[in-house]
Amino acid sequence: MHAMIEPQIAKPTMAAVACAAGRMASVLRDLGHAAAAERVLRCARARQGRTHGPGWPWRCRTAGCPLCLPRSVARWAAGIAAWASAAGGPDRRVSTASLPITADNSLGAVADLRRAFRTLRDRAARADGRWASVAVAGLLHGAEARLAVMHPELSAEAVEARLRGRWPVLAWIPGAAPDLPAPPLDETLLVALALRRRGAEPLRIVVAAKRAVCDSAKPPAFPDPWAEPMPLTF
């Protein structure tokens, strides 16, 4: 049985990432986070000193690590792509939306976008119940947010019109899942992620579809009498 070996990083890429890790560690030390800086440097040294032996090198798994973050985001991107492919089905009821992120605090802008989309979807669902099935999953990529929008009960045109009324600069591609490549290694973003200590979660925009709830006016039927609630006496 052969031991599993992690694919090695190309030397030019490794050198560039190691330099980025060194600069980031310096910034973290200046901010008083020496422990986080040492974890990032240790991760870079483990990758650089790796031989062709079996196994995986030590990983810090810090969200702001320029070596660990791309792999974490790649897993998120693969999951979103699989979800969009499964949700789209034969009629391709999944579309791509791209929105520019122009705020200086990009992570804060992602959180605002997540809340704004949920609010827009919930308000639309009050008037049209089909909007309750709309869901979104995407990631921050550089200066824009790339989203997969699932709309199984609505046409792409109806969803686009509603979203464009809220975001006029929206870029919309109906019937296609978004391309989610590896994010650029922006040092400011890496430091912000490292200090938040929440993994890659601040980079993602996920709004799940609303779940159906039981109508209180129509209590559920219990096919098995033993499953009915216990009677109360006063």
DSSP 5: B
pLDDT at 51: 52
Q: How many Cα atoms within 13 Å fall on the side-chain side of residue 224?
A: 2
pLDDT at 50: 59
Q: Are 64 and 41 in contact (CB under 8 A)?
A: no
Residue 229 lies in a domain: no
pLDDT at 4: 44
* CB atoms inside a 10 Å sphere around CB 233: 3
The CA angle 209-71-8, to the nearest 5 degrees, is: 155
pLDDT at 136: 92
Structural domain containing residue 151: 70-207
pLDDT at 121: 94
Residue 198 lies in a domain: yes
Among 46, 92, 43, smallest CA distance to 63 is for 43
* CB atoms inside a 10 Å sphere around CB 47: 20
Residue 225 lies in a domain: no
Q: Are 148 and 100 in contact (CB under 8 A)?
A: no
Helices 187-196 and 106-127 pack at an angle, to 10 degrees, of 70
pLDDT digits (tens, 9 = 90+) for 54-104: 556 677 777 777 778 877 888 888 888 888 877 655 556 888 899 988 766
Number of domains in the chain: 1
pLDDT at 157: 92
Residue 215 lies in a domain: no
Q: Tell me how far apart the alpha carbons of residues 71 and 61 are, in angstroms, rounded to a whole number.
A: 10
Residue 81 lies in a domain: yes
Q: Tell me how far apart the alpha carbons of residues 62 and 37 are, in angstroms, rounded to a whole number.
A: 10
Look at the block and give the residue holding tokens 């609010």: 119
Q: Which residues pair with 98 in a beta bridge?
A: 146, 171
Q: Which residues of the chain have pLDDT under 50?
A: 1-5, 52
Residue 32 lies in a domain: no
